[in-house]
Amino acid sequence: MNRINVPIAQLSFTQKLDLMEMLWADMAGNEEKLESPAWHGEILNERETALNAEKVTVSSWEEAKERIKINVS
């Protein structure tokens, strides 16, 4: 595959977001071609084990968003 050179530094913020959205839409439309790396499965298994052993807790999405807002502000 040939490498494509895009002058990213010359793009505006909005253009960069548009480019990311186009790339994501294209990639998401081809999920069967995307393969998760092995380490991803390992981490998910570790987290599931910790959850089942009650070593970690979970939050609702609303609670998580509020916590993120507090930590980012």
Q: Is residue 32 part of a domain?
A: no
Q: Is 59 inside any structural domain?
A: yes
User: Do the domain assignments include residue 23?
Assistant: no
The pTM (predicted TM-score) of the whole model is 0.47
> Is residue 1 situated within a structural domain?
no
* Per-residue pLDDT tens digits for 46-72: 999 999 999 998 999 999 999 999 999
Domain extent for 68: 37-73
70 neighbors 59 (Cβ within 8 angstroms) = no
Q: How far apart are CA 45 and CA 36, in angstroms?
A: 14
Of 23, 20, 1, residue with least CA distance to 12: 20
Is 8 part of a structural domain of the chain? no
Residue 13: inside a domain: no
Is residue 29 included in any domain, yes or no?
Answer: no
> In this model, does residue 43 exceed pLDDT 80?
yes
Rounded-to-integer distance, Cα 57 and Cα 49, Å: 12
In a domain, 17, yes or no: no
Count of domains forming the chain? 1
